[in-house]
Structures are given as structure tokens and as C-alpha cells.
Structure 1
Amino acid sequence: MQLNFQKAIAAQPLWLQFVEMIAVVDLATYWIHRAFHQLPWLWRFHAVFIHANLRWRFPGLHRAISTPQYHHWHHATDADGIDKNFAQFLPVWDVLFGTVHLPQGWPKHYWVAHFQPPETYLGQLVYPFRSPGSTPPQD
């Protein structure tokens, strides 16, 4: 038995269903991504997978979609860029929840403040399961 909202969604044009799906998935990934930064036990998993090395600009699009320039600020260790720009695709979530940061230019410093990830692949795989106070394995 279908619920009324399922029937209402099924009656919508396919393009509208697609837009709604993107919005719902993107909102969920915003909060999941933010949780990975806010909860220490999740941060240990996320910290070893930080990469932001494309310097492409998309003038006019950077406020509508998450571009490389937008994402660079998420990985900045510049004080004004820390814990900003969590959106995966649609920066509207950062605007609504007060985490948007997109000045002109690029960050001066990257990576993760106060964290040096293990250098080996195995070290990075094991790191999230180590106790929070332990040091990364030596290479």
C-alpha cells in the first residue's frame, strides 16, 4: 500500500523528482559531512582523506554549485575558513546554516590544523581505529 506522499511524488514530472532527489541527498550529505568534522570519533575517519588540489575557477557558478574554489576553502587552515563550506553540490545549505565562506582568491594554508596524517597507505587505513591519544605509526 503506497502512502499519499508517494503517490504525489510519483505524479510529478520526472525532472522535478530529480531536482527534489538532488536537494534531499545533498542536504543529507551536508549534515553527514558536517558531523565528520564535529564528532571526534568520525573525524578520525575523515581526516586521512583530505585532498583539494584543483585550482579551477568557474565564474558565476561558484555561488550556485560547489566548485573547486568553493571546496578549497573547506580544506583551508586559514582561521576564517575552518569548519566552512560543507556542501557537496549546493552551497545553499552553507548559506542557510551559516557555514558559507567564499572570499575572492585562494586560501594561504591547507590541510588539517594540528594533524599530520600517517604517510603510508596502511597507516591511513589503521589510523581511525587507533585510540584518540595515540600517535600515528612510523613509516
Structure 2
Amino acid sequence: MQINIFYIQKNTEFEILDQKYLKLISKFATIKEYNLFNKKIANAQNLNNPELAKKSYEEVFNPHKKGFNIALDERGKELTSLEFAKIIKDKFELSFFIGGAYGLRDEFTKKLDFSLSLSKLTLVHHFAKTLLLEQIYRAFCINSNHPYHK
């Protein structure tokens, strides 16, 4: 399985944990991260223009939609770890999209296969990515009867 995580992020405060989970996941699948933050996004965010910022996120995300596409979105569906494991099971390729500071437009998320909320709480993007990595690893453990989930 190929897993792609596309995100918009200025810094990586949780890099140590991210690397831990990337290594653990690599036992089950090929996983790649792509930080697509660029000057156009930075300028849109600096203007405090949510619509312009969200459109700039979409511009960098759109060419990367492949496989089963999942948006991380606060308005998405909340799942248990077991439900999440079922969704990713038997997929050939998964692509996750984590928006920037202003989130994602409905127009974008509706074009994807699934919209996932990690919590009703608002999370900083660095933490959302780390939480996603942990849940991906947990899902693989669930699907392979590994004791990690216990």
C-alpha cells in the first residue's frame, strides 16, 4: 500500500513523534509526506484572507489527488479507531490532505472520497498530522491483529 500525506505547515514541532510513527508504519506500507507550503500560501495567510488562503491550498493539493482521497476536516465524520481501520483496509493507495491555518473549502472536500474529523476540538496542524500518523499505525495494527491497539 502507498500512503501519501499532503499538508501545509510552516514548522514541525512534533518531528520526533512523526518520525517514530513513520518508521512503524513503514513495516506495513510505503508512506510519504509532502509539505506543500509555499510563498503564495504564505502571502494569502498574511493577508488574513481565508478564501484566498483556502484556494491557494487547493491549487497545490489538486494535482496530488490519487487513490482513495481523505480530507482532514473539522466538519468531517468522526470515527472510532476500528471504523478508521476498516476504511483504510484493502486500499491500494491512500492520500490524506491536511489544510493550512484556514482549513479546507467544502468545494474541495466534497470532491474527495471521504472527509475525516480527528476531533470536534480545533487542533494545531502539526498535532493533527502526528495524531493522523498514530491512527494510521493503529489501524494497521488492528487490521493485522497486532497487540498495539489493546
Shorter-chain TM-score tier: under 0.3
- Whichever structure has more strand as a proportion of its residues is 2
Q: Which has the higher contact order (CA 8 A, sep 6+)?
A: 2
The alignment's TM-score, normalised by the length of structure 2, stands at 0.25
The alignment's TM-score, normalised by the length of structure 1, stands at 0.27
